[in-house]
Amino acid sequence: MLLSDMGADVVKIERPQRGDPARQMTARVGDDSAFFISVNRGKKSITLDIFVEEGRTLFTQLVPHFDVLVENFTPGTLSEIQLDYDSLKHANPHLIYASISGFGQTGPYAHKPALDIIIQAMSGLMSLTGEVGGGPIRPGASLGDSIPGIFTALAIVSALYGRSQTGQGRHIDMSMLDCLVTMMENGFSRYFATGEVPTAIGSRHPGAAPFQSFKANDAYFVVAILSNDEEMWSRFCLTIGQSDLALDGRFRDNRGRTEHADELAKILQTTFSKKSRSHWLTALTEIGIPCGPVNSIEDVAKDPQVLHREMLTPIPHRTAGTWLVANTPFRFNSQPNGALESSPDLGQDSDDFLMSLLELPLSEIKRLRQQRVI
């Protein structure tokens, strides 16, 4: 999705008749999955059964026409049918071949299947998500999927730059677990520094206070006091009508506030519960305190900053007319970019690619389709 939004021609290869299982996910937009539309916008689709010999032959013939190949099979699957990097690099020595799997191409878990929640659990992320004393919580976004996708896009761009210098292709081994372990740097740094195992602490930050959510008399909002700015802390206390807190020895500096975070949170929650969220956000914003509302998805969809940045952008859809999707955040020279076209119908581009790249006649394409090779 990211590479497509940035202008790459991305071709999705799907199983004949069945296609990507994500096409069947809910919620539905006509006969399409809203999720599939969002993450496959701007791509093309061809159908090809690579698990039959004729399909593998066609696939190998297509490889020289592409710069990058991305696959997410369980390690070993493609080597068994000679479609792994070592087999295909002879067909295209310049090929950037990216393999995304749950645990990478090596190691004791390499051949185990994995999905988002498995990776979130095994990375430690779920153990740090939730309220104190509660059970493990999966965050509300598929971070075990999306973060590896972002890292893979970065690795592909880096490999393409390297190829421009050396002329050589490269194999990228991307582990979903590795990606989330990388993102857990705060938890690991605390563990190795103290020997204590971090646990879930709600919305609070482990190294700064106050740095969490509070409930006003009508809705939730968040406050974040910078750990090294005691003058900000004093302004904050004065503005909320708790100037004595700035003089309290327990809360005088960030270290003290963090050590006594629970006590501080109770005092602040009592204070904030007396007035509305808009009152507190206005007052705190006026004195330069970082703060913001806890938004619902509906709130975000109406947020003026989000709308100004065109982060929800319409794409055409054959039955819905237009459909809004979350945009890519990159801006080059302040110009908007990102999603422009809808997701493809299953196999809609098969004929074009087989005719233009492999010069197959329509009669041969018809035969391949009848035999379910494409």
Q: Which fold has domain 211-294?
A: formyl-coa transferase, domain 3 (3.30.1540)
Domain ranges in the chain? 2-183+301-370, 211-294
**How many Cβ atoms are within 10 Å of 81's Cβ, its own excluded?**
16
> β-strand 220-224 against 211-215: which pairing, if any?
antiparallel
pLDDT at 332: 85
293 has pLDDT over 90 = yes
Pair of tokens at residue 366: 């018809």
Specify the CATH number for 2-183+301-370; select among 3.90.1150.10, 3.20.20.140, 3.40.50.10540, 3.90.1170.50. Answer: 3.40.50.10540
pLDDT of residue 323: 86
Model confidence at 229, pLDDT cuts 50, 70, 90, reads: confident
> Is 260 in the active site?
no
Q: Does 85 score more than 70 pLDDT?
A: yes
Please report the pLDDT score of residue 264 as a whole number.
97
pLDDT for res 31: 80
Percent of the chain surpassing pLDDT 90? 89
Catalytically annotated residue among 171, 205, 260, 279 = 205
Strands (E), the chain: 11-14, 28-29, 32-33, 44-47, 68-71, 96-101, 170-175, 211-215, 220-224, 291-293, 312-317, 321-326
Average pLDDT on 269-283 reads 98
User: How many whole angstroms separate alpha carbon 280 and alpha carbon 269?
Assistant: 12
Average pLDDT over residues 248-265: 95
Residues 6 or more apart from 227 whose CB is under 8 A from it? 207, 208, 254
pLDDT for res 336: 67
Asked if the domains 2-183+301-370 and 211-294 are classified in one and the same CATH topology, the answer is no
pLDDT at 335 over 80: no
Q: What is the pTM of this model?
A: 0.93
Q: Is the pLDDT of residue 227 over 80?
A: no
Q: What distance in Å separates the CA atoms of residue 171 and residue 86, rounded to the nearest whole number?
A: 9
Chain centroid, CA 189 distance in Å: 23
The dihedrals phi and psi of 21, each to the nearest 5 degrees, come to -55, -25
Closest CA to 171 of 62, 103, 95: 95
Q: What is the pLDDT of residue 194?
A: 95
